[in-house]
Amino acid sequence: NILKATPTVTIPPVASTLNSGQTLASSTLSGGVASVSGTFSWTDPTVQPAAGTSSCSVTFTPTDTFYYTNATTTVSVTVNAPGYPSWVGGYNWAGGDSSPTGDPDGDGLANLVEYATGQNPMVANANPITFRQVQINGNTYLQLSVTRNQSVTNVLIEGLSAGTLSDPAAWSTLTTVTVTDTPLVFAVRDSLPVESNEKRFLYLRFTLQP
């Protein structure tokens, strides 16, 4: 049997900043030096550090695994506090519009929607809002649902429905029924069935709160 040596980490890698609610998998490790060649990775990338500065475990895997075993060290990770300004500060906007209504990645999703649903505002994402038609007592209703970023608690999501797109005043929350409203999922349906109405429209409104 060969007694494997444990490498020495002389300079730990540097971790990129996280936004509140993100796991270590979203933080990039760069640099780092050990006594032998190899790579650094998070010991448990599913860890979700709290806001502030945390010390998290990193594993060094040597290139030569025949003579060397893995080594561990700790790395300081900065996590931005919850809030829209802190979320904005976690990205390089490169001159793009960082306002709640901005859409610098051109995917049709306003920054506020990306903030509320845990998306990257600089990368085009698929629409996180899901549409379906539900059957209740023989009637068909429009329904929308969205998965939330659980760490974001200052965005109000509401469902509004209307029978026309030509009159902005027609949109109302009074003609909707909230199906699910949890920290993870929001779902709402129209209260008027498709069968007895010529046209029905439903949308989600996102409002940033203090």
DSSP readout, 37-106? -EEEEES-TT--PPSEEEEEEEEEEES-TTTB--EEEEEEEEEEPSSHHHHHHTS--TT---STT--TT-
Regarding the domain delimited by 129-208, which CATH topology (the fold level of the hierarchy) does it fall under? Immunoglobulin-like (2.60.40)
Please indicate, yes or no, whether the overall pTM of this predicted structure exceeds 0.75.
Answer: no
- How far apart CA 9 and CA 5 sit, in angstroms, is 13
Cα(17)–Cα(162) distance, rounded to whole angstroms? 43
> CB within 8 A of 209, min separation 6: which ones?
154, 155, 156
In this structure, the strands spanning 71-80 and 18-19 are parallel
Token digits for 148?
């939330």
* C-alpha to C-alpha distance for 114 and 127, rounded to whole angstroms: 9
Compute the distance between CA of residue 183 and CA of residue 155 in angstroms, rounded to an integer.
Answer: 11
pLDDT digit string, tens, across residues 124-152: 999 999 999 999 999 999 999 999 999 89
pLDDT tens for 20-59 read 778 999 999 999 999 999 999 999 999 999 888 999 999 9
> Residue 140 and residue 134: Cα distance in Å, rounded?
6
**Boundaries of CATH 2.60.40 in the chain?**
129-208
Instruction: State percent of the chain over pLDDT 70.
Output: 100
